[in-house]
Amino acid sequence: MNTTKDAEFRDFMSSRWSHLLRTAFLLTGGNHHDAEDLAQSTLARVYAKWERVRHSENIDGYVRQIMVNVHTDRHRRRRVREWITARVPDVATSDRTGRLADRDVLLTALARLPARQRAAVVLSYFEDMSQAEVAAALGVGLGTAKSQVSRGLAKLRQDGALHGLRNTDALTKEEAR
């Protein structure tokens, strides 16, 4: 690549890094290290396809699609990170502020969703994408995207841990559509 294209990519990367990291954080179920890895892997693929990406009508949509695909690929290849042990590990303590505690509960609930449902819910509600955009980003039909979002929301609503959240407007957003 020439220096102009490299500079374009560098500017894009710098301006979108925090947004990509946030989306990756939500897709990975709240694991900061996995989110950084996902965002970096996404940018590596974007760089390799930069010529095609930069001429796209919707660069952010193109990059989100790449991120979802990278996440799906990583999830398929993921090795089990848990080890059976006789010793109980230290119990994590939640942050003492209500907002962070709510976030922890929501991230845990999101992490319990299957990967495709989690991706559909994150793209729809945290990225504020339309159902057609979610379908395009996931590479599925509109009906499949709708059912993934619907099933994911149903599981989140049934999750007893979410009943205590202070702001549950996000879970009823679908009814307003």
Around Cβ 117, how many Cβ atoms within 10 Å?
A: 21
Residue 171 pLDDT class (50, 70, 90 cuts): very low
Domains of the chain: 3-77 (1.10.1740.10), 98-165 (1.10.10.10)
Q: Greater confidence, 113 or 85? A: 113
User: What long-range pairs does 160-169 form, CB within 8 A, spacing at least 24?
Assistant: 161/105, 161/108, 161/109, 162/105, 162/106, 162/109, 164/105, 165/102, 165/105, 165/106, 166/98, 166/102, 167/102
C-alpha–C-alpha distance, residues 3 and 26, integer Å: 33
Q: Residue 75's pLDDT is what?
A: 66
Q: What is the DSSP letter of 169?
A: G
Asked whether residue 78 carries a pLDDT value surpassing 70, the answer given is no
Residue 106 pLDDT class (50, 70, 90 cuts): confident
CB 111 within 8 A of CB 29: yes
Angle of CA points 152, 158, 159, to nearest 5°: 90
Q: Residue 173's pLDDT is what?
A: 43
The dihedral built from the CA positions of residue 58, 61, 65 and 67, taken in this order, carries a sign that is positive
Q: Residue 43's pLDDT is what?
A: 93
CB 19 within 8 A of CB 42: no
**Model pTM?**
0.56
Asked whether residue 120 carries a pLDDT value surpassing 90, the answer given is yes
- Helix, strand or coil, per DSSP, at residue 163: helix
